[in-house]
Amino acid sequence: MGKKGFSGFPGGNMNQLMKQAQKMQKQMEDVQNEMEDHVVEGSSGGGMVKCEVNCKLEVQSVTIDPEVVDPEDVETLQDLILAAIHNAQGKASKYSEDEMGKITGGMNIPGLF
């Protein structure tokens, strides 16, 4: 029987586990850095209002078709803007989860995103 390492793991396996954890950590850092540059577009009102958001959920731009601007109905425009932002943020969150899931194998690691 071989010599046991930390917490009952054979010595070589613990080293391999640590190397895999370090590799995963580096991959996650790389993906998180890429998230700042990856931009998704959300829209509402049939594309009349568009919003671009990076995968850090930071709004990058808002585009409003002049046809949707009605001074008599500002509330609808406000609702369309919020809907476009929420749509884009949902897409960005999904993209982030999918990319991190590729690294973690689908494990849900609290505080990762």
Smallest CA-to-CA distance from 68 within 79, 54, 53 is with 79
Q: Which of 47, 42, 56, 46 is nearest to 86 (CA)?
A: 42
Is 42:53 a contact under the CB 8 Å cutoff? yes
pTM: 0.69
Domain 11-104 is classified in which CATH homologous superfamily?
Nucleoid-associated protein YbaB-like domain (3.30.1310.10)
pLDDT interval class at 13 (50, 70, 90): confident
* Length of the chain as a residue count: 113
pLDDT digits (tens, 9 = 90+) for 21-44: 888 888 888 887 887 789 999 999
pLDDT given for residue 85 in this prediction: 97
pLDDT above 90 as % of the chain: 49
- pLDDT of 90: 96
53-77, pLDDT tens digit by residue?
998 899 999 999 999 999 999 999 9
Q: Which residue has the higher pLDDT, 75 or 5?
A: 75
Q: How big is the CA angle at 63 (ends 60 and 66), to the nearest 5 degrees?
A: 165
